[in-house]
Structure 1
């Protein structure tokens, strides 16, 4: 059985005309000899009748609901979407059946609103594939061992598709979006950003973690662990999109996946830099700070610790609370609010001298202040004022000849 998992997002399903394009993609996959499992999101975005955010807006004060009850509400959009698509496939002469996440065998923990998949038991999917050409699965949702409905958090339909692809030992996972693949930068910022033909799991995971919204990093990690090739492509355009793989044989790509040092530039906005001064060189200061922030569920990022300073970033929307908590400890703090994190990502940078030099040169030429920097073997990050973020992305894209 050659299984292809396809995932269609809300913009691909929001109107009847767009769903006809989805049916065309499913039909083409069947014509290529695949048995198709299609994962669907809720139809449209906030304002559309059955979008997840619209359903949440039916309860203006969601805090009065338990997270468990909120998951019941939020799971409805994908179920509606799957039933509508099955009916339209039938009208087009394609046999199909729909399953909820739980019926499809997605078993999660009980972290309602942001559940993690524990295991996948796709028995019902196999049963339906034997009877039908297509199985439509409601994305973004699963079920606990006790039978309670859960949702998987942001990017949950991507995660559903990847988990099913791994469990079914799929030939490939196709993530259909409203763009034609993974870009070298956000095309809204860089007008000559190009679509990458190929990219490694590690590279796309880093791009996703650092702000690129084309796919959720958790989905990439699942596909990478199972070594299932993954493709990102457009519902609305023809083309091969971007292939994501390790570099093995078959549908994956060769080891020479990218000759460029840098594969892409991405950005993350709305962060604030906090600098805690520690002239006494007391190592307990950092311990105190991170302990109180963790107790108040404030996540920190971009951490630099030296003898006299502890530097890190938090989201803008929690910065005032973080500053207050640190001041309550009696510590001296400086801040840079309204910052952005710009990242250059590329597996080709490992062991190559001069990459950081080019990054500093590109930003200095545009008079952009670097407030902080850090690196890993596939990424270099720079914190810059948010007002300079777009110029920084364009400067790095140009410096590394990514257009």
Structure 2
């Protein structure tokens, strides 16, 4: 009997009706002679009583700049409430479930409160419980330091918990349950013809996640990839098979063109500002170093970096634009800031080495009169910066151009 890790997101555990559906998913695993380990997120989403954002708002009403250590103490509560309620629901259904915090499940982290990194996982307690025939229900998003301090893993941390436990336990499969039927080629709210992918590689889904698709946390994928443990993203609310994430695409998938496809999906990130700096200093390398070091020293992450003789361009989160501009002006830089931008990306493992991909990308935008402010590409993605008002047109045009509805 193999181990399966099943992670259930906030919407999956938010109501009694949803939790009954969770019970059915777990029973299916048990009936298939698998030993389930359950990971749960906090119940519901922003605005709901026990959601993570609700606890953040509650703490910050006391003090806007409350220390990150203290914030983690209250953030711990969301998953603990969820895990207790889910454990009780399983027990009521006749399943021998037991609730564990992240620390009790053996997740040891550094002390970077609110965004801790996992240092190691000690699965010994989980293994003993599984041998006893119990079903552990583990609080996602949590860890503990070697000094017994509570920590949280940052947004998407429950996915990371599931992957870390799956890796430590040598699980046969990690299932990520959410409120969608799988990973789609684009946001269906923008592209009505977007379709669910049957199969996708670790690398492709990591790129989609990094480029803005809210499908699964890239850290979770990277952890599962280390031991080549398959992940499946599927819905709690349907019986659809979902999307398989693995190192290679399976030959028996109904996604028959998957091995030869150039593009996997189109995604976007909004609320971006472009910073353009004109350099008058002949020592471009020194100027570039000082500029990027100043951004790092001020906690400003940069993206879409283009460095040319006499000019540097990069993007940052729009809410940091004033801070970045002021810092650069202190250096005497000639700074031009463009707000209301978005990054639109086409992601695919087949992009590398295929002639004409960039031409197709640019053509799709040009014929729709979408001005391009900046471009950057890699082996698995092509991204452009455009004004935010063009996002829907750009995503739709690129989805059609790369035949992602087929």
TM-score normalised by the shorter chain: which range applies? Answer: over 0.9
Aligned counterpart in structure 2 of residue 292 of structure 1, from 291, 294, 298: 294
Change (3 A) 1:287 1:234: same
8 A contact 1:185–1:193 mirrored in 2: yes
Q: TM-score, normalised by structure 1?
A: 0.97
User: Cα distance, 1:146 vs. partner?
Assistant: 1.1
**Whole-angstrom CA distance in 1 between matches of 2:355 and 2:120:** 43
**Whole-angstrom CA distance in 1 between matches of 2:254 and 2:223:** 18
**Whole-angstrom CA distance in 2 between matches of 1:147 and 1:253:** 48
User: Cα distance, 1:280 vs. partner?
Assistant: 3.6
1:25-40 mapped onto 2 (5 Å cutoff) = 25-40=25-40
1:150-229 mapped onto 2 (5 Å cutoff) = 150-229=151-230
8 A contact 1:199–1:258 mirrored in 2: no
Q: Pick which of 53-62 and 147-156 moved more.
A: 53-62
**Whole-angstrom CA distance in 2 between matches of 1:335 and 1:55:** 35
8 A contact 1:177–1:214 mirrored in 2: no
**Whole-angstrom CA distance in 1 between matches of 2:253 and 2:246:** 5
- The match for 1:134 is 135
User: Cα distance, 1:226 vs. partner?
Assistant: 1.6
1:70-89 mapped onto 2 (5 Å cutoff) = 70-89=71-90
* 3-state SS of paired residue (1:336): strand
User: Cα distance, 1:179 vs. partner?
Assistant: 0.5
* 3-state SS of paired residue (1:233): strand
**Whole-angstrom CA distance in 2 between matches of 1:355 and 1:373:** 13
Q: Pick which of 301-310 and 248-257 moved more.
A: 248-257
1:4-403 mapped onto 2 (5 Å cutoff) = 4-59=4-59, 60-247=61-248, 257-283=258-284, 284-403=286-405
**Whole-angstrom CA distance in 2 between matches of 1:167 and 1:279:** 54
Change (3 A) 1:210 1:76: same
**Whole-angstrom CA distance in 2 between matches of 1:126 and 1:142:** 18
* 3-state SS of paired residue (1:182): coil
8 A contact 1:97–1:132 mirrored in 2: no
User: Cα distance, 1:305 vs. partner?
Assistant: 0.3
* 3-state SS of paired residue (1:349): coil
User: Cα distance, 1:86 vs. partner?
Assistant: 0.9
User: Cα distance, 1:259 vs. partner?
Assistant: 2.2
Q: How many residues align?
A: 403
8 A contact 1:300–1:313 mirrored in 2: yes
User: Cα distance, 1:250 vs. partner?
Assistant: 11
**Whole-angstrom CA distance in 2 between matches of 1:390 and 1:202:** 25
User: Cα distance, 1:176 vs. partner?
Assistant: 0.5
Change (3 A) 1:41 1:335: same
* 3-state SS of paired residue (1:36): strand
Change (3 A) 1:94 1:250: farther
**Whole-angstrom CA distance in 2 between matches of 1:251 and 1:265:** 24
**Whole-angstrom CA distance in 1 between matches of 2:314 and 2:257:** 36
User: Cα distance, 1:335 vs. partner?
Assistant: 2.1
Change (3 A) 1:398 1:335: same
User: Cα distance, 1:278 vs. partner?
Assistant: 1.0
Change (3 A) 1:217 1:325: same
**Whole-angstrom CA distance in 2 between matches of 1:22 and 1:382:** 40
8 A contact 2:321–2:337 mirrored in 1: no
8 A contact 1:30–1:36 mirrored in 2: yes
Unaligned runs of 5+ in 1: none
CA RMSD of aligned residues (A): 1.8
User: Cα distance, 1:90 vs. partner?
Assistant: 1.0
8 A contact 1:370–1:384 mirrored in 2: yes
Q: Pick which of 42-51 and 235-244 moved more.
A: 42-51
**Whole-angstrom CA distance in 2 between matches of 1:6 and 1:352:** 38
8 A contact 1:246–1:253 mirrored in 2: no
**Whole-angstrom CA distance in 2 between matches of 1:248 and 1:323:** 45
* 3-state SS of paired residue (2:154): coil
8 A contact 2:75–2:152 mirrored in 1: yes
User: Cα distance, 1:17 vs. partner?
Assistant: 0.3
Q: TM-score, normalised by structure 2?
A: 0.96
User: Cα distance, 1:258 vs. partner?
Assistant: 3.0
Change (3 A) 1:26 1:105: same
